[in-house]
Chains A and B, each alone.
Chain A
Amino acid sequence: GNSVTQMEGPVTLSEEAFLTINCTYTATGYPSLFWYVQYPGEGLQLLLKATKADDKGSNKGFEATYRKETTSFHLEKGSVQVSDSAVYFCALSSTGNQFYFGTGTSLTVIP
């Protein structure tokens, strides 16, 4: 079956620190992989995506590479800002119009 395992939070970092949030997946077939971000009181926003092995998704300084050999899609950012404080969800989509979400990782960035 399909599932996503995501690093447990919460994560607290100082401004300008390096961020990694781990995500691994189990899937039948060849899924697409996503990172979504949810700011307090809002819906989910697509942060980045990758649709095939070795693709790198990037947006707003965040990056993640689709690694088929390790079934991973870790989220990284070189220098976080206070405005990056949010909950981050890793997700996969395989055939059938269904998404599978990780449990979410809460990030707090302190000045």
Chain B
Amino acid sequence: DTEVTQTPKHLVMGMTNKKSLKCEQHMGHRAMYWYKQKAKKPPELMFVYSYEKLSINESVPSRFSPECPNSSLLNLHLHALQPEDSALYLCASSHPSTGKNEQFFGPGTRLTVL
């Protein structure tokens, strides 16, 4: 299995809602990532988990809360988002052994905040 899956594919939420994005991989990768991508832009790194521990937080607002329950799952909890948070949210995974291995990306969750 060389796939990263993400659910849901699309999400529309109001600014007062609480929702979660989910990501799963079964490749035995021990590094997992959340990215935010705006249209026609490269992905922007949000969070990195290495061996289920948060290793990088790129100064992301606290309305985004990541969670890594186990080595295969990664969640992103959303609360009190703003319209400018509307974007494609991508999950990725990789072997963390050297830090130079390719990242495998999921198809993304298209988030719209009303």
Contact = CB atoms under 8 A, between A and B. Distances in A.
Interface of B: 4, 6, 31, 33, 40-43, 45, 48, 50, 55-56, 90, 92, 94, 96, 98-108
Interface of A: 31-32, 34, 36, 42-46, 49, 51, 87, 89, 93-99, 101-104, 106
Given A98-B56, A101-B42, A44 B90 contact: yes
Given A93-B102, A97-B96, 12 more contacts: A31-B100, A32-B100, A42-B107, A43-B106, A44-B43, A46-B104, A49-B102, A95-B99, A97-B31, A98-B48, A102-B42, A103-B42
B105 A97 contact: no
8 contacts: A31-B100, A44-B90, A44-B105, A89-B42, A95-B99, A98-B99, A101-B43, A103-B41
Most buried by B among A31, A87, A96: A96
B99 A93 contact: yes
